[in-house]
Amino acid sequence: MEVDNNTIYCKLCLTDCPEPETSTLCSCECTFCVQCLRQYVPLAIKGGAGGAITCPDPACKNTGTLLDSEITSFAPGDQVELYQRLRFERSVQLDPNKAWCPVLDCQAVCYVTPGTEGKPTPVPCPTCHVVFCCACRGPWEDGHSCSQHQPLMIPSEDSGLAGTDTDAVIKQCPVCNVYIERNQGCAQMLCKNCKHTFCWYCLQNLDGDIFLRHYDKGPCRNKLGHSRASVMWNRTQVVGILLGVSIIVLVTSPLLLLASPCILCCVCKPCNAKMSKKIKRKDKKTSDSPA
């Protein structure tokens, strides 16, 4: 009985795996062991928000994407269903001619009149028959006026829709309009779809607020969701990191300035040529000397 000794190097686990235990992706022809792909694909589904699952090799020249059949092979059935649902939701969010019904008990896919994307236009829901504005998702009324990027509306007993609610459990990202649910915890939100950081209550941009000073004043004062001590500890850590980097730069800068002539001298080609000539002369004299 012949033994197959052919092995293939897997860039994920950094080991040589037997060829039968590996799989080659169809789109880019990169090869990985099956065990690594079975770990990678479920993680990519959870963090990908329905986007295409790309080749796990960051240096892949073809930037390949996994086929549906490959995702089905390397992920459990529940993860495959999750991926299909997220992909469908993403396709609706990215399609300017489609919109979700803002009634939470409905959430049907509605169709926007072509050519009116972003403009205040009434959109009827085919399921619950509520008419809402395609721009702000508010109830459509005569003389309707709206503002973009309002939080998701919560159903009310009267109209099935409600106005803005700072305590809403589900809201939309102010950048990409993806629906986000907050059960508890910090009010500083990070959208997994577009990586935008914002305040849950007022939807203000927090991308550059590393000290979270937004929660020191205004209507969101003391609404971060953490104790004052934890906020101060977070700021102390940030300040400590910045001070540490600054001290390292200040200490190393004079040393680099002092060592720069030596570095330049080592790099200088004429100096290297002179040193090599001297070494050759010494070697020649040594070889010419009588034994």
Just list the catalytic residues.
186
**DSSP code of 162?**
-
Terminal CA-CA length for the chain = 64
Q: Contact at 8 Å (CB) between 11 and 48? A: no
**DSSP code of 54?**
B
**Could you tell me which residues are beta bridge partners of residue 180?**
171
Write out the H or E segment, with its range, that includes residue 280.
Answer: helix 269-288
The owner of tokens 């309707």 is: 144
Phi, then psi, of 173 in degrees rounded to 5: -60, 130
Q: Which two tokens stand for residue 83?
A: 């991926």
Residues 6+ apart with CB under 8 A from 219: 201, 202
Q: Contact at 8 Å (CB) between 178 and 49? A: yes
Residues 6+ apart with CB under 8 A from 154: 104, 162, 165, 168, 169, 170
Write out the H or E segment, with its range, that includes residue 32.
Answer: strand 31-33
